[in-house]
Structure 1
Amino acid sequence: MVGLKPSDVPPPLGVKVLSAGTAACIADLVTFPLDTAKVRLQIQGEKAATGAAKGIQYRGVFGTISTMVRTEGPRSLYNGLVAGLQRQMAFASIRIGLYDSVKSFYTRGKDNPNVGIRILAGCTTGALAVSVAQPTDVVKVRFQAQMKLQGVSRRYSGTMQAYRQIFQHEGLRGLWKGVFSVRFYCTLFKKKKINFSNIYWCFCLPDNLPCHFVSAFGAGFITTVIASPVDVVKTRYMNSPPGQYRSSLNCAWTMMTKEGPTAFYKGFVPSFLRLGSWNVVMFVSFEQLKRAMMMSRSRIEATT
């Protein structure tokens, strides 16, 4: 449009989808060790360790990371990274990249939608994203839980082999294991404009990078407190072999009866640190990538 800067023109859907997926991958690369530490702490105590893994005990986020580096090497912190990046390209592209389009659909193009519409749009894109990306999440969690130790058998040797093996032994239900609990978990995560705006209002902060940092960790703490029990159940159920649990509810009941209520908050600190830092890196990268893509698009249009 004549007279408008690239920042004034709403980015097309393709730009938003691609920049959201790419930004989420950048955030995953930065925060993946925290995610892996979270998974190891969440499954600890589920069953007795055997063989070379018997003497390994994880304590705290930094203790877990240092133990993994010492016993399995630094690369163990990035177990499941390939599936994790696949998940972000599928999940974030839909959940975040399609959010504005779905919101506009519900409001029929009207500006300033209310909180209910925003939540509805977030739930819609979240449910759609989970439906598409669930197999990648299952494989990611199973790789993160898998120890790389001599004398400990590995379930999977590669990402594509994991998809094939899960399908062969567990069918499509295995690849979409825990999808309903994940959908519930994802409804607790709103787009940044919902979570962050509440924190802006509480602290009366301007809309800038320091505010994004404070609000991301504030929203991350609240979300982790609420969502941690579902997240722990999700991780254990997706990682479980066939027959260990009848359902996610059975998994939750088994945790309560055998380990007590504190089991639902295993991995709380790495989960909180990962969520807050992931939000900061992701949304800063998202805005910068959108701006860069729009500027490149404008230059191409100007030369044609």
Structure 2
Amino acid sequence: MSADKEAVVAAVEKPVVAAAKPKPYPFWLGGVAASIAASVTHPLDLTKVRLQTSSDKRMIASMKKTIATEGVKGLYDGLTGTLLRQMTYSMARFAAYDKIKEAMHVGPGPPPAWKMALAGSCAGGIAGIVGNPFELIMVRMQADKKKYGYRNSLQAFFKMTRDEGPKSWFRGVVPNGIRSILMNASQLGSYDWFKNALLGSGVSDGPILHFFASLGAGTVATTVCSPADVIKSRVMNAKGSAGTMEIIRTSLANEGPRFLFKGWLPAWTRLQPTTILIFLTLEQLKAGVDKYRAAGGTHL
């Protein structure tokens, strides 16, 4: 056999070595990115909750009322609850979404939209249960922490457990879980969809692409989640034994179906920059991890 033929045979018979699977990013990156974003947009989140749970009608008027009665620092009431919520709920949803998406799609190319939506739904269900106690504390602290005697998130958690028992951890878990499922299917799934669509249309991967992908994801998520978000806030802020269905019936009787979208504008105004900040921050954190690993770092 000639040398050329032997070279061809060797090339054909040479075993194909599978590309090394990339090392996953640290599971806590999503929680850190969400905490940074939530710290910036907290006044809007607080105003959204107060619009949903009080007689306030307008976003700006509600913010002025808060400043007039509590000062500028009043716009940051419940910030510790928000941060604790992000490092439980958001950390769980981002970590679970990546794992579930990876398990569901092993073929070439990006996963189809339905797989991303399903992965987001599953991740949302997990995160909704894990983060429910701290979601409850966050809502109460933002609505009126003086009414509950809360000083910070940890004191609030122990006080709630002592006064209301561990069962209080799961108050509002059904509407919160539904909202979490809808949020993550629409936000995480649509962000990936928009990102892949933009990449496919020739937009280069970078902050501009991440901005527009998150802009689309925030609008989709706000609209899809508004009804569950309003119901969740009202259930969590209600005292006594009023159940979810009773609260829905009362709200429908008093305000009509439009109550389901009460606070949509502040919700969009809050969620949109939050979504943009989360994904821009998360992408930059991932880029930082990549640079760290390329430089020989082994701790991330």
Matching residue's letter, 2:51: L
Distance, in Å, in 1 between the alignment partners of 2:130 and 2:112 is 28
Report the secondary structure of 2:151's partner residue.
Answer: coil
How far apart are residue 87 of structure 1 and its match? 1.0
Among 290, 295, 299, the alignment partner of 2:295 is: 299
Structure 2 unaligned regions, length at least 5: 1-19
Relative contact order higher in (CA < 8 Å, ≥ 6 apart):
1
Q: 1:73, 1:255 → 2: CA distance?
A: 31
Two-structure CA RMSD over aligned residues (Å):
2.6
CA distance in 2, matches of 1:300, 1:191: 37
Superposition map of 1:219-258 within 5 A: 219-243=217-241, 245=242, 247-258=243-254
Q: Which moved more, 1:89-98 or 1:30-39?
A: 89-98
Matched, 1:260 2:256: yes
Any stretches of 5+ residues in structure 1 without a counterpart? 1-7, 46-57
Letter paired with 1:29: S
| Partner amino acid, structure 2, of 1:19 | L
- In structure 2, distance between residues paired with 1:260 and 1:75: 35
Could you tell me how far apart the structure 2 residues matched to 1:100 and 1:135 are? Answer: 24
Q: Which residue of 2 aligns with 1:110?
A: 107
The match for 1:84 is: 82
For residue 30 of structure 1, the aligned residue among 40, 48, 67 is 40
Instruction: Report the more deviating stretch, 293-302 or 130-139.
Output: 293-302
Secondary structure at 2:86's aligned position in 1?
helix
Larger radius of gyration: 2
- Provide the C-alpha distance between the structure 2 equivalents of 1:265 and 1:125, rounded to a whole number of angstroms: 25
Report the CA distance shift for 1:300/1:236 in structure 2 as closer, same or farther (over 3 A).
same
Alpha-carbon shift at residue 139 of structure 1 (Å): 0.3
The code of the aligned residue for 1:282 comes to I
Alignment of structure 1 residues 1-304 onto 2, 5 Å: 10-13=22-25, 15=26, 17-45=27-55, 58-107=56-105, 109-111=106-108, 112-146=110-144, 153-189=147-183, 190=185, 194-196=189-191, 206=203, 208-243=206-241, 245=242, 247-301=243-297
CA–CA distance in structure 1, aligned partners of residues 287 and 213 of structure 2: 22
SS of the residue 2:95 aligns to: coil
Contact kept? 2:47, 2:59, Cα under 8 Å? yes
Q: CA deviation at 1:11?
A: 4.4
Q: 1:140 to 1:101 in 2, by over 3 A?
A: same
CA pair 178-9 structure 1, distance change in 2 beyond 3 A: same
User: 1:146–1:155: 8 Å Cα contact kept in structure 2?
Assistant: no
The answer to whether the 8 A contact 1:104-1:110 is kept is no
Residues 32-78 of structure 1 show CA distances to partners (whole Å, capped at 9, x for unaligned) of 11100000100113xxxxxxxxxxxx342222222211221111111
